Amino acid sequence: MRDALGRVQSVLLVGGSSEIGLAILRRLPRADAAVVCLAGPDRPEMERVAEALRAEGVGRVEIVDFDACDLGDQTAVVDAAFTDEPDVVIVATGYLGDQATAEQDPAAAARIVDINFRGLVPVLMGSVQRLRAQGHGTLVVMSTVAGERPRVANYVYGAAKAGLDALTRGLTASLAGSGVTVVIVRPGFVRTRMTTHLKPAPFATTPDKVAEAVAAAIPRGSRIIWVPGVLRWVMLVLRHLPESLFRRLPG
């Protein structure tokens, strides 16, 4: 439960090493003895993150192993990650993959879908069940504009993110009146390790800008945000562009 000053006392970051996820986490107003739970597949990397967070004054950091490609029972992940009743759950797991490889290798395409969508379904459903039972909390889900209209350059990733976005919109509707709020974040190109090998797209932004937008959206009760905000209008136009024109757009 947030403290009397509205500061978070417990945060769960799924995608415990994500640059954007960590920027959001660091931007939240945090109580002195706050607890952070990091869930992800790379324990040594999360140990490094945990050490940095402790040095920044986080009271306690827990680590939970979570591999989205492990499609077995993920209930244990949610159980372990929810021991401290998180005020905010950030789902920042993601994997761009390589479109050309995915077109040659169906298993590579399935991996993109597993990490960005299928493997997150039990975690999202389980988290919402727990948040609903708590009667409070905010779920932040990292979607993307790439899910709004698939491009030939990354349509497998876009399709997986479209699934994640649709599921989260459904969950948002199902949570009406529960005391739990949801923020779906649709950034364009963000300069992180996920995109270092790519030429920045128009309206490219940074993890800090995404975090700033999320921190502003939570108290406002915004359900879907685009980062930067102008992308909301750009996508409104692009969604309705005839396919023949859309296909000729650069990038």
Ligand X SMILES: NC(=O)c1ccc[n+]([C@@H]2O[C@H](COP(=O)([O-])OP(=O)(O)OC[C@H]3O[C@@H](n4cnc5c(N)ncnc54)[C@H](OP(=O)(O)O)[C@@H]3O)[C@@H](O)[C@H]2O)c1
Cα–Cα dist 173/41, whole Å: 30
Instruction: State which amino acid sits at residue 147.
Output: G
Which of helix, strand or coil describes residue 25? Answer: helix
- Kindly tell me which of 42 and 51 has the beta carbon lying closer to ligand X: 42
Cα–Cα dist 103/108, whole Å: 8
Cα–Cα dist 134/127, whole Å: 10
Cα–Cα dist 233/220, whole Å: 20
State in angstroms the smallest separation of the CB of 239 from ligand X.
Answer: 17
Question: Could you tell me which stretch among 73-81, 91-99, 218-226, 238-246 binds ligand X (CB under 6 A)?
Answer: 91-99
From candidates 8, 20, 63, 213, binder to ligand X by CB under 6 A: 20
Residue 206 in contact with residue 190, Cβ under 8 Å? yes
* Active-site entry in 66, 157, 189, 226: 157
State in angstroms the smallest separation of the CB of 79 from ligand X.
Answer: 17
State in angstroms the smallest separation of the CB of 250 from ligand X.
Answer: 17
Q: Is 99 in the site for ligand X (CB under 6 A)?
A: no
Catalytic positions are 157
Residues that bind ligand X (CB under 6 A): 15-21, 40-42, 45, 66-69, 92-95, 115, 142, 144, 187, 189-190, 192-195
